[in-house]
Structure 1
Amino acid sequence: MDIFAIEGMVGLLVRFGLLVVAIFAFVISLMHPAEEYTAAGKWTKQGWTILLGLGVLFSFVPILPFFLSLVFVIAAFVFLADVRPALRGLRRR
């Protein structure tokens, strides 16, 4: 196996991992009611769902520029690191 085949395999695994993160964030965004987003002081459910849904959709398009893919991946990580804990905190009260 040459170095380019290994590099291609690693790139494919990274893209697949990021796709899994995007799908997970999208599904989690659908599970919470819109009122919880407002109560947590976060962006609306509709806004997050559209943004994360576009991220999942565009993950299947390998032609997109790296910058655009990076924006959607960062959005998914922000949702999982900031919004999801705030929404989960509301359920514990």
Structure 2
Amino acid sequence: MLVNGFYSVVSWIFLALTVFAGVALVMAAIAREDAYRAASKNTKQFWLIILGVAFAIMLLVPMMFLQIIAVIAAIVFMVDVRPALRQVSGKGGGRRGSSSDGPYGPYNGGR
């Protein structure tokens, strides 16, 4: 009974990682080609091929070693490439303060 519960948890984790790889593939497809060149992150075709193969491995290949490599490829895209694409595209990052903002909020000159 404990073994069945373990396999259930592992299958949910596997499903989540497969969805993660699919989301990375969709985000790579949505981004503009010129954003990849501007961010110096290879080409759009390169990332579509890498993430497409990674997603196919997650769906079709039951070898855990290859699945780990596929998840690493998706993580690299999401952690390194996607933020650079967002920054170049102008869609990134949080609130934009004024030029007088310091690292902890606005600088009012002691007022």
TM-score w.r.t. structure 1 length?
0.91
Please give the alpha-carbon distance, in whole angstroms, between the structure 2 residues aligned to 1:43 and 1:13. Answer: 33
Deviation at 1:52, TM superposition (A): 0.5
Task: Kindly provide the CA deviation profile for residues 40-82 of structure 1, in whole angstroms up to 9, marking residues without a partner as x.
Answer: 011211111011011111111242x211111110010110001
TM-score w.r.t. structure 2 length?
0.77
* Higher RCO (CA < 8 A, seq sep 6+): 1
Deviation at 1:35, TM superposition (A): 1.3
Percent identity of equivalent pairs? 35
- Tell me which structure has the larger Cα radius of gyration: 2
Question: 1:80 maps to which residue?
Answer: 78
Please give the alpha-carbon distance, in whole angstroms, between the structure 2 residues aligned to 1:31 and 1:62. Answer: 26
The one-letter code of the counterpart of 2:85 is L
Count the aligned residue pairs.
91
Q: Does 1:43 align with 2:19?
A: no
Q: How does 1:1-93 map to 2 (within 5 A)?
A: 2-63=1-62, 65-92=63-90
Task: From the two aligned structures, give the one with the greater helix fraction.
Answer: 1
Unpaired segments ≥5 residues, structure 2: 92-111
The one-letter code of the counterpart of 1:54 is V
Task: Kindly provide the CA deviation profile for residues 15-59 of structure 1, in whole angstroms up to 9, marking residues without a partner as x.
Answer: 000011001000000011221111101121111101101111111
